[in-house]
Amino acid sequence: MNHPPVGWAFGGRVLLKASGLFILFNLMFALAEPLPLIGQLSVYNRLVPGRERLPYGENPASYNLSLNSLDAMFASHVVTAAKPADEFRVLVLGDSSVWGILLRPDETVSTNLNAEDYRIDGKPVRAYNIGHPIMSVTKDLLLLDYARRYEPDLIVWLVTLESLPYSRQIETPLVQQNAARIRPLIDQYDLNLDRDDPRFVDPDWIGRTIVGQRRALADWWRLQLYGFAWSNTGIDQVYGEYTPRSNDFEVDVSWQDYVEPVALTEADLAFDVIRTAHTMVDETPLVLVNEPIYRADGRNSDLRYNFWYPQWAYDQYRALLAEMAEREGWSYLDAWDAIPPGEFTDSPVHLTPAGSQQLSQVIGRFIVSEITQHE
């Protein structure tokens, strides 16, 4: 039986219908904005275990990636599992030192806290690592605001001076891409941040379509696929050789935009973000920790503690933070010199496994003492 040849008219009609459906699906996607819901769909804590730390990385060999969807990030994390009735839940928040650069998941401060078998109110302490490797306390506030839904009994927040300049607050893509979550915080808590900062990303109509969101959708899908390889290998970070932190320096006392020493005030640093975090968590205790830093002893170490910090800037920061904590009645631990210099790796805040364990012991004893004292 002979079939009539497919003509240009038929092909044109098929192409026209396909194009119409493509446009329709994209318009429906833009109207519905389903990315948050899609992000919450996850193989983690279902088909594979939840991750011990938030996704981060750019090397496919680590079965990990950086993405900007808080929903997808937290859906992959073990903290989303139902909270046991006998658990004293602690969220540990902070930068790359908390996340654990150059540390395995079982070597971070959080996992070391769990290994110490602390008990509060008769319940075993279970610490969850929600740190993320970007220096910005506004990024930390964003993560804390999201993580409050997981019923923490205590927040432990590690901060350092490098996370506090206002110039750094909106530098991270995680903050820029979550403008819809940050702006309400700016408005509600009157943060000293510009809600109209041009670095915030506000997708237009095209940006909200499937085409515009193809990178976010691809990242979500890759995170799901990585879950199977990660669960079989335990690899979420590739470990290689690194350049040790500097111990010798030029004659240089600059910091950020300051070439010479100046008198810093509270208004020069994003202390209002730290105050907001205390207000945000309401009755949930928050322990603020000034995290340890590397202290050099080499050339010109009388001018600089390390590559990041000239002594004049860091000393003023410590004094200002201590004064503010005392005035506000915060639970505050200044652990800046708690770890020996030999236990730092490639930056002024990254620790060796031994240093991480030592810090967890310092923090663990402090939080147990603080909670017991205020009962």
Residue 154 is classified by DSSP as E
Residues 168-182 have pLDDT tens digits of 999 999 999 999 999
Give residue 18's pLDDT.
Answer: 64
pTM: 0.92
Does residue 17 lie within any of the structural domains? no
* Angstrom distance (rounded) from CA 181 to CA 74: 15
User: What is the 3 state secondary structure string of 231-285?
Assistant: HHHCCCCCCCCCCCCCCCCCCCCCECCECCCCCCCHHHECHHHHHHHHHHHCCCC
Give residue 4's pLDDT.
Answer: 52
Residue 69 has pLDDT above 90, yes or no: yes
Residue 19 has pLDDT above 70, yes or no: no
* Angstrom distance (rounded) from CA 73 to CA 42: 10
User: What CATH number does the domain containing 111 carry?
Assistant: 3.40.50.1110
Does residue 61 lie within any of the structural domains? no
Mean pLDDT across 354-364: 98
**Judging by DSSP bridges, how do beta strands 88-93 and 154-159 pair with one another?**
parallel
Give residue 322's pLDDT.
Answer: 98
Domain count across the chain: 1
Does residue 100 lie within any of the structural domains? yes
How does residue 97 score in pLDDT terms, banded at 50, 70 and 90? very high
Residue 228 has pLDDT above 70, yes or no: yes
Mean pLDDT across 35-59: 93
User: What is the 3 state secondary structure string of 348-371?
Assistant: CCCECHHHHHHHHHHHHHHHHHHH
CB-CB contact of 374 with 341 (8 Å)? no
Calculate the average pLDDT of the chain. 92
Q: Which two tokens stand for residue 87?
A: 């658990």
Residue 119 has pLDDT above 80, yes or no: yes
Ranges of beta strands (E only) in the chain are: 88-93, 119-120, 123-129, 154-159, 286-290, 331-334
Does residue 235 lie within any of the structural domains? no
Mean pLDDT across 99-108: 96
**Judging by DSSP bridges, how do beta strands 154-159 and 286-290 pair with one another?**
parallel
* Angstrom distance (rounded) from CA 225 to CA 207: 25
List the domain range (segments joined by +) for residue 146: 89-165+249-375
Burial class (CB in 10 A: 0-12, 13-18, 19+), 198: exposed
Does residue 201 lie within any of the structural domains? no
Give residue 200's pLDDT.
Answer: 96
Which of 106, 108, 113 lies closest to 131 in space, CA to CA? 108
